[in-house]
Structure 1
Amino acid sequence: MGKTADLTVVQKTIIDTLHKEGKTHTFIAKEAGCSQSAASKHVYRKLSGRKRSTTNRENCSLERLVKQNRFKNLGELHKEWTEAGVKTSRATTHRRVKEFGYSCRISLVKPLLNHRRRQRRLTWAKEKKKWTVAQWSKVHFSDESKFCISFGNQGPRVWRKGGEAHSPSCLKSSVKFPQSVMIWVAMSSAAQDLAPAHTAKRTKSWLNDNGVGVFDWPANSPDMKPIENLWGIVKRKMRNKIPKNADELKATVKETWASIPPQQCHRLITSMPRQIEAVIKANQYSNLLR
């Protein structure tokens, strides 16, 4: 059944009907009783010889809707597009958005930054632009984060193209609030450590007493720290965990943290040059929008 020619009239009818309803090719193939390849070939053969249901002008109007607000969901985009007079299906709306190069992704959260902090962040990034992976491997990163008994969803989704993760129009702002169960961690290129947050001050005192230099870091810029990625990994691993109390929660965090291999820490450290470059590009992108 791998060839379109092998499909029966009934199978072709089923494929055409389900495709118009916006069903996935996997679902269509299963319902039609053929391979996914055969179903896809039949769909694309018909599309290639068929006039597109939307004009270039209409497509441009849809792309403008996406750019105006990257956080609109597909239903909102389809509603606004059809209200503008475009007669098309929700499935076609989705296809057009994908044709523009956009994918629906979970948005990164940007720190709340004023102009002075943005400039300090950019200056810092430029100062570290030529740092090598070997230099970053000598840095120990530390941070603290809150863990709650109930973990919410992953955050709003955003339409963005490749390389736009740090673009201002694709970010959500965040403000720090009082935290509940706090955990303090540290990581380097080869190892990591975890402890209750109340020991953080003691750790800072030890560093000062033993002459260990403290890295100058721009204010409200946790997104540039590789340790933030570790927090994300831990919280994703804990997504299906349901601790009953704070003690169980702490134990779960420690167990999950211990499961992260040292190689993961090294890979995150090696990403620092790319993070620095992303900050510089994001600032250039922001200037173009002014």
Structure 2
Amino acid sequence: MGKPQIFIAKEAGCSQSAVSKHVNRKLSGRKKYERKRCTTNRENRSLERHVKQNRFRNLGELHKEWTEAGVKASRATTQRRVKEFGYSHIPLVKPLLNHRQRQRHLTWAKKKKKKWTVAQWSKVLFSDESKFCISFGNQGPRVWRKGGEAHSPSCLKSSVKFPQSVMIWGAMSSAGVGPLCFSKTKVTAPIYKEILELSSADQLFKDADYIFQQDLAPAHTAKSTKSWLNDHGVGVLDWPANSPDLNPIENLRGIVKRKMRNKRPKIADELKASVKETWAYIPPQQCHRLITSMPRQTEAVINAKGAPTKY
């Protein structure tokens, strides 16, 4: 701005010599040198190897192993280095798959469903049971509070030991969602047959042919259930065991729970009404987007050799 150094020093609250050094440094193009790091690149690589050997080691264990190898670094330095590597400390929860289940996942994706198109997946009626509780765990919005207001009633999030809950059965396809069926108890074979009587297949597909998807829960694989499906001419999609991450209705359930975060039902009837209302407002376009991801999910299973995928 063309101001003299005396004016700049007065405005900045420093000496004129400090202003002069700063200006001369900028004009001369001198670079600011960073503080010398206390660990070498070789030592940093050894720390990264320790992280990769066991992903569930805590920071104290990593720091102990690293320093026992002769590295002189503080615990804070260890934490900074791990952060620089780009590692996260929150694991994702995926179903546990043994070797046989992984092989069946791979066979299912590679030999049976690899060539399926979006049009074929659109003819599948996906279904699943799910449990909704009044307390949604740690999910929910944050609270705005000042220091000392942690125990204020308006800033507390209530929790109960055995929260009220509702068990639902729902179905979806690329055409949208069907009506929900509520159950007060665990879904058994007789209860499941009653649910199937109220199935939403006719509403979603009308007179068109469809394939029904269900997991391998005991109520689904019971002889009475299989007999009911055969008597009603319902074709069932072959489905690998322990594979909820392949079912797009699982993603739909997560969407419903996220939309219900700001709702605070106090009794089971309010929870039931809230779930029903949120489910009914899911647009068909959202269901169609989930169905269009099925070819990508199948390809991801093949690439992962049957192991859990990002879906």
TM-score normalised by the shorter chain: which range applies?
0.5 to 0.7
Are residues 1:122 and 2:109 paired? no
Q: What is residue 250 of structure 2 aligned with on the other side? A: 228
* Residue in 2 that maps onto 1:257: 279
- 1:145 and 1:104 mapped to 2: Cα distance? 28
Partners of 1:285 and 1:87 lie apart in 2 by 39
Q: Is the 8 A contact 1:148 1:180 kept in 2?
A: yes
SS at match of 1:109: coil
CA deviation after TM superposition for structure 1 residue 56, in Å: 2.0
C-alpha distance in structure 2 between counterparts of 1:281 and 1:81, whole Å: 35
**Which residue of the other structure, out of 136, 139, 152, is the alignment partner of 2:137?**
152
Separation in 2 of the partners of 1:241 and 1:69? 40
Q: Is the Cα contact below 8 Å between 2:39 and 2:71 reproduced in 1?
A: yes
Give the structure-2-normalised TM-score. Answer: 0.58
| 1:161 counterpart residue number | none
Which residue does 1:196 correspond to in 2? Answer: 182
Q: After superposition, what is the alpha-carbon deviation per residue over 1:136-191, rounded to whole angstroms, capped at 9, x for unaligned? A: 1111100011112222236xxxxxxxxxxxxxxxxxxxxxxxx9521111111120
Within 5 Å, which residues of 2 pair with 1:237-252?
237-252=259-274
**Residues in 2 aligned to 1:133 and 1:91: alpha-carbon distance in whole angstroms:** 51
Q: 1:116 to 1:285 in 2, by over 3 A?
A: closer
8 Å contact 2:50–2:62 — kept in the other structure? yes
Structure 1: gaps spanning 5 or more residues: 1-5, 11-44, 155-178
What is the DSSP-based 3-state SS (H/G/I as helix, E as strand, rest coil) of the residue aligned with 1:143? strand
Query: For residue 122 of structure 1, what is the amino acid of its counterpart?
Result: L
The correspondence of residues 1-290 of structure 1 with structure 2, limited to 5 A, is: 46=32, 51-72=36-57, 77=62, 81=66, 86-88=71-73, 93=78, 96-105=81-90, 107-110=92-95, 112-126=96-110, 127-153=112-138, 181-193=166-178, 194-197=180-183, 200-204=192-196, 208=229, 209-283=231-305
Any conservation in 2 of the 1:184–1:200 contact (CA below 8 Å)? no
Identity of aligned residues (%): 75
CA distance in 2, matches of 1:247, 1:282: 43
Question: Given that residues 186 and 192 in structure 1 are in contact (C-alpha distance below 8 angstroms), is that contact kept between their aligned partners in structure 2?
Answer: yes
Shift of 1:83: 6.3
- Going from structure 1 to structure 2, the CA distance change for 1:259 and 1:51 (only over 3 Å counts) comes to farther
Could you tell me which runs of 5 or more consecutive residues in structure 2 were left unpaired when the two chains were aligned: 1-7, 15-30, 140-163, 202-228
Question: Which has the larger Rg?
Answer: 2
The alpha-carbon deviation at position 239 of structure 1 amounts to 3.3
Structure with the higher helix share, 1 or 2: 1
Greater CA deviation, 125-134 or 71-80?
Answer: 71-80
User: How far apart, in 2, do the equivalents of 1:84 and 1:253 lie?
Assistant: 55
Using the alignment, how far apart are the partners of 2:265 and 2:135 within structure 1? Answer: 8
Structure 2 Cα separation of the partners of residues 79 and 237 of structure 1: 44
Per the TM alignment, residue 80 of structure 1 is displaced from its structure 2 partner at its CA by: 5.5
Counterpart secondary structure, 2:119:
helix
Deviation at 1:125, TM superposition (A): 1.3
Using the TM superposition, give the Cα deviation of residue 226 of structure 1 relative to its aligned residue in structure 2, in angstroms.
Answer: 0.9
Structure 1 window deviating more from structure 2 (216-225 vs 85-94): it is: 85-94
Task: Please give the alpha-carbon distance, in whole angstroms, between the structure 2 residues aligned to 1:144 and 1:195.
Answer: 9
Give the distance between the partners of 1:115 and 1:285, measured in 2 at CA.
9
Q: How does the TM-score come out when normalised to structure 1?
A: 0.62
The question of whether the paired residues in 1 share the 8 Å contact of 2:122 and 2:174 is answered with yes
Matched pairs, number: 220
Cα distance change on mapping 1:79 and 1:188 into 2, 3 Å: farther
The alignment partner of 2:124 has SS state of: coil
Shift in Å, 1:75? 6.8
Secondary structure of 1:147's aligned partner: strand
Indicate how the Cα distance of structure 1 residues 265 and 57 shifts in structure 2: closer, same or farther if over 3 A, else same.
Answer: same
